[in-house]
Structure 1
Amino acid sequence: MRLRALMIWLTTAVSAIGATVAITAPAAGAPQGCPKLYVLAIPGTWADGTNPGILGDVTAGLGAEIAVQFVGYDATAFPWEKAVYGKSKAQAVANTTGLARTMLNRCPRTRIAVVGYSQGADAAGDFASEVGTGRAAIRPSAVAGVVLISDPRRSARDNLVGPPLRGEGSGGPRLDGMGWVSPRAFTICEPGDLYCNVPQDYFLTRIVGYLAETSDPTPSQIGQYQAEAGAIITELLTLGGPGKIVEELSNARAREQITSFNRFLQSGAHSNYATFQVRPGVTAVQWAHNHLARLA
């Protein structure tokens, strides 16, 4: 009788534990409808929701566990458009941050990935920098990956996919880098694309790029702007003192860089990423697509 009573007690206890597990298990899982990976894709200048450019191919068919959201923003550059470049890009960064936080508030286990092209890459890199250095209310571990295609703020320190490059982005590198996000951030740049690969001695082009980046400046970033301007001036002085600055601003030097920039615009290098190979047989668009798909 004692043995039979013990068996009945054990059976009842095991059943109760099983019932408890069955009741509590769903509460530990992700909320219904939460993707494993949330990809925020930021198109380049003059793109819109109906024409995301190459990012349409980058994000197409990533898989059932991945949700894709194209980030809307003015995507303009000149004063006679909706917004100057600096204001347009700041809008893209703010919208990306807002979308990421909204998703993470609803789905804490979802991870974020960002991909951008041209001005969109500029914004995606700034978003990654803010998160990675603790300036955004998003934990760095929530960012699964970053892919920047033709980033105007590409740095020689960034994780480059493709052939080696000698220059850097036309807007100057992010002095704070991407912090804790850096190991998961990758940049792609066609060697002939001056937006992401300006020769270091093209100071006039770099100054113009800097002025575009700082148009409609954000007050909280004034220290960063000053540091970036100081870096350019320091390089000039190191190369040849005040005389080098005068030489760099000369008509001959300006014509040389304008001619080079016109050749770049005619070359199509900036729009060549669907065919530009970063690995034998693998284009930039294919690599970015495959990398995002693997993050889920």
Structure 2
Amino acid sequence: MKKTLTVLGVLVLVVILVVGVGTWLSDRGGEVGTTTGAPSSGQVDQPASCPAYEVIAAPGTWESSADDDPVHPTANPDSLLLNVTNPLQEAYGGDATADGANGGVKVWTLPYPAQFRNINALDEMSYDDSRTEGYNRVSAEMTATYEACPGTKFLLVGFSQGAVLTGDLVTGIGNGDGPVPAENIAGVSLIADGRREDGKGTLVGSADVQGIGAEIALSSVSVLVQPIVPGATMRGPRPQDFGALQDRVNQFCDPADLVCSAPRDVGNALQRANDLIAANGIHAQYSSNGNVVPGETVPQWIVNWARDIIDNGK
């Protein structure tokens, strides 16, 4: 029993390390008025200043800040999602205008604390509070856009903590409880989602992912989690799938990434403990790792996916 608890403690510590990727950043270049049944964006008249699409990017832990510029984010120049947002801004009008519209495409990066309090950083905001603030800010941005531009469609991209909060929001939208109707979501891409689960969304590329999201894997050992990561609730699986958006959600996960592919049980953790520790840098490498999606990196795949949707009016 003592050995089991020790290995579980190690697993928790490793997950802490990979949920926040600051150490390896240099290695990679509530209910809101839902309007179910609203007319599709192609049938909605809206001001000419409205973008046809809004790309919303939710960075991972330590890759954003609450006061960052959502149009020209500078909080972390090595942020993974800059490899998605910068190419899209360049493709659709170059420099963004004051409101973020780029020739019909608005690119908006979530400014939020992106912190993760742990025994080595007790002065940081807790994971629960940081994630909740990020969730609320994305929801508010979507609400404001939808109220002014009901025909605008959204492309949502999230990484790590940002993938968790985006996935939570999309679950609500797909099940009729969100800031915009499901039909206004053109697509979603989640990288290293800590609540990733088989059968929820489409796993792109890595067919050999055997594990599950860390929030699910660690939900039964919260007694070990709280002393190490105060305020980080391991909530288990999302209560629903993505509903109407099930076929519009892409999931990306390296099989060795503990955030999205943690061992499913204690026995497996005992067998894989050494492998897990050795693989703790994988979480930081999606912008350079060409093994998740054959022939290209995950950001490259997402940029091409987004451009296909935008260029073809999907």
147, 161, 170: which one pairs with 2:204?
161
Distance 1:176 1:132, change over 3 A: same
Out of 183, 190, 196, which is 1:148 matched to? 190
Aligned length: 218
Q: Identify the residue that residue 274 of structure 1 maps to in structure 2.
A: 287
Q: Deviations over 1:103-133 (max 9, x none)?
A: 0111111011110111001111011011111
SS at match of 1:112: strand
Which ranges in structure 2 are unaligned for 5 or more consecutive residues? 1-43, 69-73, 93-102, 217-236
SS of 1:115's equivalent?
Answer: strand
Contact 1:202/1:257 (CA < 8 Å) preserved in 2?
no
Task: Measure, in 2, the Cα distance between the counterparts of 1:108 and 1:65.
Answer: 14
Which residue type is aligned with residue 41 of structure 1?
A
Structure with the bigger RCO (C-alpha within 8 Å, sep 6+) is: 2
Give 1:91 shift.
Answer: 1.1
When normalised by structure 2's length, the TM-score is 0.65
Mapped pair 1:73 → 2:86? no
Distance 1:56 1:151 in 2: 18
- Please say if residues 37 and 295 of structure 1, whose CA atoms lie closer than 8 Å, have aligned partners that are also in contact: no
SS state at 2:81 partner = helix
Q: Which has the larger Rg?
A: 1
Number of the residue aligned with 1:264: 279
Judging changes above 3 Å, is the alpha-carbon distance between structure 1 residues 118 and 31 closer, same or farther for their aligned structure 2 residues? Answer: same
Residue 196 of structure 1, CA deviation: 0.4
- Structure 1 CA distance, aligned partners of 2:184 and 2:214? 29
Distance 2:250 2:125 in 1: 28
Q: CA RMSD in A?
A: 2.1
SS in 2 for 1:35: coil
Identity of counterpart residues, as a percentage? 31
How many angstroms does 1:204 deviate by?
A: 9.9
CA contact (8 A) 1:163 1:191 kept: yes
AA at the equivalent of 2:304:
N
Unaligned runs of 5+ in 1: 1-27, 206-252
The two structures have a TM-score, normalised by structure 1, of 0.68
Structure 1 pair 103/122, CA: closer, same or farther in 2 (3 Å)? Answer: same
Equivalent of 1:179, from 243, 259, 265? 243
User: Cα distance, 1:167 vs. partner?
Assistant: 1.1
Return the alpha-carbon distance in structure 2 between the equivalents of residues 118 and 167 of structure 1: 16
1:262 Cα shift?
2.7
Determine if contact 2:205/2:294 at 8 Å carries over to the other structure: no
- 1:38 aligned to which of 35, 54, 59: 54
Tell me the SS of whatever aligns to 2:251.
strand
One-letter amino acid of the structure 2 residue matched with residue 103 of structure 1: T
Tell me the residue number matched to 2:29: none
